[in-house]
Amino acid sequence: MTARCAVCAASSGAIRGAGNHTVSQCGIPPALRAVTAQRAVPANAMPNRLCVSVPLLFNSRMNFLVTGGAGFIGSHVCERLLREGHHVWAFDDLNPFYDPQFKRRNLRDLQALAKPFEFVHGDITDRAALDEILSSVRFDQVIHLAARAGVRPSLLEPALYQRVNVEGTVNVLEAARRNGVKKMVLASSSSVYGLNSRAPFSEDDPIFTAISPYAASKLACESLGHVWHHLYQMDVAMLRFFTVYGPRQRPDLALYKFAQLICAGKPIPVFGDGASARDYTFVTDTVQGIIACTRTELGYEIFNLGESQTVPLKRMIELLEEALGRKAVIDRQPMQPGDVPLTYANISRARERLGYHPQIPFEQGVKLFTEWFLKQNIRA
Ligand SMILES: NC(=O)c1ccc[n+]([C@@H]2O[C@H](COP(=O)([O-])OP(=O)(O)OC[C@H]3O[C@@H](n4cnc5c(N)ncnc54)[C@H](O)[C@@H]3O)[C@@H](O)[C@H]2O)c1
């Protein structure tokens, strides 16, 4: 008889497919199998947990579930947690919003670290799949990043955005609550500020001017986070990310698209007169803020995670041209519906409460991004 994989069976008994393969078919690299077997929490060792207000415990070896863990920001978060010695499960449906090869490559990078990492292929709109994973492992914290991202595509499929981002978030919060998870870190977005006219944007600004279905879905998530905190005493951090960029960048975002077109000698579509401006955040700075939240008891708190520096579109293109050593051909187009003219983060709250200190100014970050981008293109 062929030996079944005992490591998967021990570590994540209820994960679909776990233990249903042989040792030689197991995706966990040999170096990691021993670690996984030692540190795994057997499914039947789960105590019956209630959601009551108890002080949170932080230690250097925790179990994290990262939804959207195969994506751009999620894969960086997983990597950082693994390097710190935590055990990480990434939950992701690998959908084709952009080429899933990017996500698979991120997963390969994570697996290559040979640390206690497991991938669960699942959809946050599937309540049973979430329950399965959350009831089979004792998670200390959930970092919920899975979402349909992107402002413009949300105008084409508003119902999908609401289903995944709003209903999906309810499912994640509820599965976490049912299974005794006390701490959640959730992704929101600078887009919730919409047409806010006060700059820089502060977490206390009244925000009733969302201008895309995506922004509205993230506003709903912020509200849901507060509900689960209020009703069930969950510790909830809502993070408003500001245009995140860097290695493993999503290919649908402007910086990546522009780099691709410039390298191919094709015109880049520039919406508006180039004066619109973004607060670009290098991905390791975003991750710094996320990790700080995982170490701090917060109650319910919203944080801006940006650099607090605005870069006009025109300047972004100049810096990209310099870094790539090529001139861009500009194809000027009207401003797009749903796009905001400005994002600009006031980060005083994150500085004070999280010790957040962004390190990479855009001029440096764009060089780091292009180095990665050019390497990928050579590899492809
Ligand atoms: N990148 C940015 O500039 C930015 C800015 C603001 C907010 N955000 C938010 O940060 C989070 C991560 O964004 P990202 O840029 O890494 O995007 P991403 O698309 O690379 O990552 C999201 C991941 O979630 C997964 N996912 C989507 N729907 C899912 C579902 N139904 N079930 C399971 N997994 C699903 C995707 O497959 C993907 O791997 C998102 O919530 C996004 O809205 C990102």
pLDDT in tens, 148-191: 999 999 999 999 999 999 999 999 999 999 999 999 999 999 99
Min mean pLDDT across 239-248, 269-278, 321-330, 347-356 is at: 269-278
- C-alpha to C-alpha distance for 290 and 274, rounded to whole angstroms: 31
pLDDT tens-digit series, residues 53-106 = 456 778 889 999 999 999 999 999 999 999 999 999 999 999 999 999 999 999
The residue ranges of DSSP E strands in 135-225, in sequence order, are 141-144, 183-189
CA-CA distances (angstroms) from residue 320 to 74, 105, 306, 323, 329?
Answer: 25, 24, 20, 5, 12
Residues with C-beta less than 6 Å from any ligand 1 atom: 68, 70-74, 92-95, 97, 103, 123-125, 145-149, 164, 168, 187, 189, 241, 243-244, 250
- C-alpha to C-alpha distance for 65 and 144, rounded to whole angstroms: 8
300 is a catalytic site residue: no
Of residues 99, 96, 107, the one with CA closest to residue 74 = 107
- C-alpha to C-alpha distance for 373 and 380, rounded to whole angstroms: 11
- Residue 63: CB atoms within 10 A of its CB come to 20
- C-alpha to C-alpha distance for 272 and 254, rounded to whole angstroms: 14
Domain residue extents for the chain: 58-243+282-309+343-359
Our CA angle for 56, 61, 65, nearest 5°, is: 75
- Residue 256: CB atoms within 10 A of its CB come to 19
Of residues 352, 339, 50, 38, the one with CA closest to residue 195 = 339
Q: Which amino acid is at 249?
A: Q
pLDDT given for residue 338 in this prediction: 78
Cα(103) to ligand 1 centroid in Å equals 11
Of residues 218, 94, 100, 91, the one with CA closest to residue 154 = 218
Share of the chain above pLDDT 70, in %: 85
Q: Which residues contact 156 (CB under 8 A, 6 or more apart)?
A: none
Ligand 1 atom nearest residue 94's Cα: 37
Q: Which of 193, 214, 256, 280 is catalytic?
A: 214
Helices (H) and strands (E) in the chain, counts: 14, 13
Token output for 193? 């500020």
Confidence of residue 379 (pLDDT cuts 50, 70, 90): low
Cα(3) to ligand 1 centroid in Å equals 37
CATH 3.40.50.720 fits 58-243+282-309+343-359, yes or no: yes
- C-alpha to C-alpha distance for 62 and 66, rounded to whole angstroms: 12
Where do the H-state alpha helices sit in 84-180?
A: 100-111, 127-136, 151-156, 158-161, 168-178
